[in-house]
Structure 1
């Protein structure tokens, strides 16, 4: 009766009338099928329809469950959607696995990211902020500034746009002054030794 269970979930549980969120919410539809035998109905066809409708199917086999049938029901990749337990009593072993899979905190989706413009999800519980076109990300990695405003600030701080040139000129002048000082010292020594007459 696994096929009947999947069909009932599709027709009754996963409808907006029954409380399911609409497509705009981007909330995944997940069904976990638990069975301890071989399906007695057309489970393969019904499972394929459910997967095509966007329902993610997990198949959990208990005791004498038919592994081949579980694999026909479940979504891909099978190694992440097919499980087996010895008895119903130990099915709780899977609870942490399902919690990890279904309860991942996507801060972008939850809106708890603090990004001023755009939140970009980088995977499990990881994200970074980005800005709309014409804006740049500030040092706090959360807020954005208008690029034109940033350029205005730069032009006010360095109105002639030659701050780097002035710094370079300052270094050259300092170096030349150092050379002049050394040359003056050499000339003084030459004069002291009577060799200070330089002819032009």
Structure 2
């Protein structure tokens, strides 16, 4: 597609900061995720994002990939305490001890859900009855920070021992992994993502 035509595409305004942000919006955000390891990746990244901008986390995504064994939750669940101290010196990630320990804790809780539900996918998609919620938003001001569903999911995950995953963080997770389609209706990705959920 010619560059001029590509530039004329309307995108959700939040992604127009830098090239990787646009690429993330165009290729990943809102695409339904049914792979457990990918779900875990976004849980790690979203929990790290708490209090920060998503663009900050996106810039450190490769650092997280290296630090957390390509987001292999089985490896992350067994990371020793000494490794936490190493990660506190790693400039490739957010050096917050509570968030690092939360990622390790959450890997263990993640595997417990797999054991009880067959997969994490089965568990989380059940909150939207197995099908993406198709919102029809016209502006960023209409995008919710939380919903009844994210409140319910957060409460349930907290009861299961997950850390750093409040309702706002989990709604962002739902948006990222396609449990909800929150592309603005004028965004070129809205209909494309909607079609993936059918």
Common fold: TM-score over 0.5? no
Which is richer in helix?
2
* TM-score normalised by the chain length of structure 1: 0.24
Higher relative contact order by CA 8 Å / sep ≥ 6: 1 or 2? 2
Pair member with larger Rg:
1
Instruction: Report the TM-score, using the length of structure 2 for normalisation.
Output: 0.24
